[in-house]
Amino acid sequence: MFPNNVLLSQFEEACGKEYSSPTFRGKMTKKQNEAGRNHMMFTRSQGRFAVAVSLATVAIFAAACSSGSSSSTSSTTTTAAPSGPTTTLPTLVIPTQAKSAAVAALVPAKIASSGQLTEAMDATYPPDEFVSPGSSTIIGMDADLGVAIAQVMGLKPVLQNVTFDSIIPGLQSGKYDLGNSSFTDTLARQKVVDFADYFTAGEAFYTKAGDTTTYSSLSSLCGHSVAVETGTTEETDAHAAAKSCTKSGSKSVTVESFATQNQVNLAVSSGRADVGFADSQVAGYVVEQSNGEFVLSGQAFNVAPYGMAAQKGNGLVQAVAAALSVLQANGTYNQILTKWGLQSGALTPIAINSATS
């Protein structure tokens, strides 16, 4: 069981409310955007890791949440994860990468002169990117790839934990160099950013164990409430399903949007939402770590490429793609995916803006 301070912070996160104790941070700012992320169901390797989450206990607090309108939060502050249960993480250490002169020559001058690569990540999305318990260090597949990419470029990696819906605007303004946070490459996003595609993933549903409803497609959401992370492809698809259901004469879909994946999980656990909707390997991870509280529903669908996002037209995407290709050639790319049990999603060769929809 989590210590009380952790339960209460989870309550604040789930409900979007400030708890009246000086121990906790203030109210989160409500914000909504239309960026997005999307993710494929994988068979996890024997080297899988465990992050125990006491969802049933947290649900006692989350159940008190209002079932009112959807909400989300936005912050760019990286904070240490609260102390909690012991977590077993992969022990493989990824070798430091040698600088490639050929790749470094592709890095835009402004970024090269800064000596660092600033990478924005929403670190609530294990096993892709999440904060190591008891620290402020971002770990996961994307974190390992991000560090290695910067090293190949001859730059210092700077990983920043931000909310997902703030990343693309941050790239456009020049606040961040790279959006490295499980982005699905889509034609719509290509209008504002460029993608170096490096992985393949899909979407999947999960419910509380014992739920007899099978969610196998977007149309199966008709008449149900679904929890999604703000700014994701899943949020966009859920709203599209709501319109489609209404148009066909079926009951609409209640879309509950939250700032983090943790809040999505709590919404399903508490019964505020009937079903959770996330990238499929993340949905699989959520189910794995729920101690039997959640189950996957239906099969993964809408498989598409993940891309690391860069400011449109500034040339960084070519350097990122070249660095990823170096990592594939020297075996580091496969080491990283295997470390996190995600090798089934490997994309070869690396591509730029390969989305077809």
Please state the domain extents for the chain: 35-64+86-357
Does residue 33 contact residue 230 with C-beta atoms inside 8 Å? yes
Fold of 35-64+86-357: D-Maltodextrin-Binding Protein; domain 2 (3.40.190)
Q: Looking at residue 124, what is its pLDDT? A: 92
Does residue 140 contact residue 127 with C-beta atoms inside 8 Å? yes
Q: Looking at residue 46, what is its pLDDT? A: 31
Element (H, E) at 8: helix 4-15
Separation in Å, CA 96 to CA 70, 151, 173, 247, 330: 43, 7, 31, 54, 12
Task: Give the model's confidence band at 66: pLDDT under 50 very low, under 70 low, under 90 confident, else very high.
Answer: very low
Cα dihedral 236, 178, 95, 97, rounded to 10, equals: 140
Task: Please give the single-letter amino acid code of residue 128.
Answer: D
Residue 60, pLDDT > 50, answer no
The whole-model pTM stands at: 0.70
Task: Give the model's confidence band at 37: pLDDT under 50 very low, under 70 low, under 90 confident, else very high.
Answer: low
Task: Give the model's confidence band at 194: pLDDT under 50 very low, under 70 low, under 90 confident, else very high.
Answer: very high
50: its two tokens: 């465990």
Residue 176, pLDDT > 90, answer yes
Listed in sequence order, the residues at least 6 apart from 283 whose beta carbon sits closer than 8 Å to its beta carbon are 39, 41, 204, 205, 206, 276, 277, 296
